[in-house]
Amino acid sequence: PREETMVPKLLVTNDATATAPFIDATGSHAGALLGDVRHDPFQSGGLETPSHDRVEAGAIHRAHKGVLFIDEINTLTPHSQQNLLTALQEGEFPITGQSERSSGAMVRTEPVPTKFIMIAAGNLDAIQGMHPALRSRIRGYGYEVYMSESMPDTPENREKYIRFIAQEIKNDGKIPHFDRSAMEEIIREARRRSNRKGHLTLKLRDMGGLIRVAGDLARQQGSDVTTADHVIAAKKTARSIEDQVSDEYIGRSREYELTVVEGTRVGRVNGLAVMGSDSGSVLPIMAEVTTAQGASGTVIATGMLKEIAQESIKNVSAILKKFTGKDIRNMDVHIQFIGTYGGVEGDSASISVATAVISAIESIPVRQDVAMTGSLSVRGDVLPVGGVTYKIEAAAKAGITNVLIPAANLEDVLIEERYRDLVTVIPVDNIEDVLKIALVPENREGFLNKLRRVAISTSGKLIEGSGFSPSAV
């Protein structure tokens, strides 16, 4: 009967006695997010379904008087984002068919309330995929919050970490409890992974995985509690793919003598790089100086260098004349990053490049038992970089016994116990410190006197008007 078919359909009910809804709309297509009207294949002959019975509420309507959560908001289509900002601003949004091929496209309801609090999440690259108007509404009516990757290493935060360990043990339900030594080792690893002095990492998913692996090892051995030994063993077992690849690369590099760790070589330096987020690798860098092919000298760098790396090469070229004292207008400087099949980004190889080039120009050998990392200013100051702990460990794995790092990074170093006796960490403040340690000149006293004269010189403007035109290929 027609009387039955015209009974109103309840779409959403959020009365005062109900708990405020929390709707997760992550990955929703337009119909699931904005509401839809189902297609009716029987549109005549008395078999049709009334339009109001085919209306389906979307996530924005079901979240009325509650919270709408969307992760990776940049995955929404521009059309969905435009409609979402309309719902946010107007507090209501009508439901219509989302497909023009559906009979539901002919149906459009009155505006349905959509007064909700939206929480959108995503990585930094998500901002690039967001509709500018939607982001403007968020900044106008709400907040943009950057989630830190670490937190200060305080007694209160350590207590929170201990509660996190207990939470992971309880959620797993099978692994044994952690004793004091195991918790201290977890906190030490949290400090190490933060890559920042006085901080604990907030990459809790990775830390949770380490906790479970340590517990599984303790359980496998029949231990009543998980100890520090189990955590240390878990760190060897639960390594990232990047860390495993790094070890494989270091081993093969030594086998085929791509990485040299003893003796001296002219124009060759062992640089250091980060692979992924928790591993390092040795980055051999070679330099050669030839007669210029053009009207003026250039720097030609190869190894799939990306934008920041290319800029760092230009900074290095700016100080070459200052530290060599030679006319380099008629020289071409060739720089090769060996084995960088995935490309090089960042400026942490600046002091390595500068040392290799100065070695090539002056024909002074470089110690191969020394590796180095650090950014370089145009005045020769060594600036801090990231990932120093992982870089030092990579050097130790490769058999290198001395590592030069920026003095500002010294307190960031927290290497594993098994590497401490294998490598000596030497902090440096400027390029003069680097050259004193890394280069092995025949007349060492004369070389040191030259460096002292450069250090006390006020002629930093020598870099201007040198006729040296850096470029990267």
How many CA within 13 A on the CB side of residue 291? Answer: 0
Residue 469's Cβ-count burial label (10 Å; 0-12, 13-18, 19+) is middle
**Residue-wise DSSP of 255-311:** HTTSS--SSEEETEEEEEEEETTTEEEEEEEEEEEEE-SSSS-EEEEES-B-HHHHH
Q: Which residue in this structure is represented by tokens 């009365």? A: 15
**HEC assignment per residue over 359-399:** HHHHCCEEECCEEECCEECCCCEEECCCCHHHHHHHHHHHC
What residue type is assigned to position 337 of the chain?
F
Q: Supply the DSSP symbol for 201.
A: E
- Give the Cα separation of 307 and 344 in Å (integer): 9
What residue type is assigned to position 389 of the chain?
T
Q: Which residue in this structure is represented by tokens 């006020």? A: 458
What residue type is assigned to position 228 of the chain?
A
Q: What's the first-to-final CA gap in the chain, in angstroms?
A: 79
Residue 165's Cβ-count burial label (10 Å; 0-12, 13-18, 19+) is buried
What residue type is assigned to position 406 of the chain?
P
Phi-psi region of 59 (alpha: psi -120 to 50; beta: other; left: phi over 0): alpha
- Give the Cα separation of 37 and 109 in Å (integer): 10
409: its two tokens: 């990074």
Q: Supply the DSSP symbol for 16.
A: T
CA angle in degrees (0–180, nearest 5) for 10-16-19? 85
Determine whether 391 is an active site residue: yes
Q: Using DSSP, state whether 150 is helix, strand or coil.
A: strand
Q: Supply the DSSP symbol for 458.
A: -
368: its two tokens: 């191969």
- Give the Cα separation of 345 and 339 in Å (integer): 14
Q: Which of these, 417, 399, 463, 411, lies nearest to 261 by C-alpha position?
A: 399
**Residue-wise DSSP of 436-456:** HHHB--SSHHHHHHHHHHHHH
Out of 348, 350, 359, 375, pick the active-site residue.
348
Out of 321, 322, 391, 397, pick the active-site residue.
391
Which residues carry out catalysis? 348, 391
